[in-house]
Amino acid sequence: MAALDALLERVQQHLAHAEFAEAKAAADDAFSSAPNDERVRAMYANLNLAHGIRLVSQAVDRRAREIDERGRPGQPFEDSEAVQGIFRDALLAFDRVLAVDPDHLKALSLKAQALFRIDRGQRAHALGLYDEAARALERTLSDESARETARRNVLGARRRIETPCEWCDDTGFCPECTGSGWRTVLGFRRKCEACLGHGICKRCGVL
How far from chain centre, in Å, is Cα 10? 27
Beta bridge partners of 190: 183
Helix, coil or strand: residue 196: coil
What size, in residues, is the chain?
207
Q: Tell whether the model's pLDDT for residue 77 goes beyond 60.
A: yes
Distance between CA atoms of residues 105 and 150, nearest Å: 9
- Tens-place pLDDT, residues 154-184: 999 999 899 999 988 888 888 888 777 778 7
Instruction: Please give the average per-residue pLDDT across 66-93, as a whole number.
Output: 81
pLDDT (0 to 100) of residue 72: 55
Distance between CA atoms of residues 42 and 31, nearest Å: 10
Beta carbons within 10 angstroms of residue 65's beta carbon: 10
Name the nearest CA neighbour of 108 among 86, 81, 73, 135: 135
Q: Tell whether the model's pLDDT for residue 153 goes beyond 90.
A: yes
Helices (H), 119-188: 123-140, 144-162
How far from chain centre, in Å, is Cα 207? 11
The confidence band for 106, taking pLDDT boundaries of 50, 70 and 90, is very high
Instruction: Please give the average per-residue pLDDT across 12-37, as a whole number.
Output: 91
The confidence band for 46, taking pLDDT boundaries of 50, 70 and 90, is very high
The confidence band for 122, taking pLDDT boundaries of 50, 70 and 90, is very high
The confidence band for 6, taking pLDDT boundaries of 50, 70 and 90, is confident
Distance between CA atoms of residues 160 and 201, nearest Å: 12
Name the nearest CA neighbour of 110 among 98, 100, 121: 98
Distance between CA atoms of residues 118 and 75, nearest Å: 19
- Tens-place pLDDT, residues 48-57: 999 999 999 9
pLDDT (0 to 100) of residue 207: 65
| Range from 16-25, 63-72, 125-134 carrying the lowest mean pLDDT | 63-72
Q: What DSSP character marks residue 105? A: H
pLDDT (0 to 100) of residue 169: 87
